[in-house]
Amino acid sequence: MTALTATVTHTAALARLGHALSDATRAAILLALRESPAYPSDLADSLGVSRQVMSNQLACLRGCGLVEATPDGRRTEYRLADPHLAPALRELLQVVLVVEPDCCDSEGCTCA
């Protein structure tokens, strides 16, 4: 594998993670799953979202390759797809960012 290929692969992986973390519900799902696997209905209840919203967000996270689904009878259990993700999320939580209070809000960043 060439350095360029590795760079493109790493860039794509980070972009997927960034996309996942750009939504508060998806970020909350990842943080919940770093503690333990969970069922969608339990995640929806604990995060205060509808089951439809949870289904859509889990589909997005599956598409990004960040979570995996395991059938469990009539239910499906979700977990983080890679064991490195939980410690990475833990480390990200340790990062302290200084953000201009008026720069970024729920609509996105407005600063230049």
Each residue's pLDDT tens digit, 1-56: 455 566 778 888 889 999 999 999 999 999 999 999 999 999 999 999 999 999 99
Confidence of residue 74 (pLDDT cuts 50, 70, 90): very high
Res 103 pLDDT > 80: no
Q: pLDDT > 70: what percent of the chain?
A: 79
Domains of the chain: 3-95 (1.10.10.10)
3-class SS of residue 101: coil
Retrieve residue 32's tokens.
């919940």
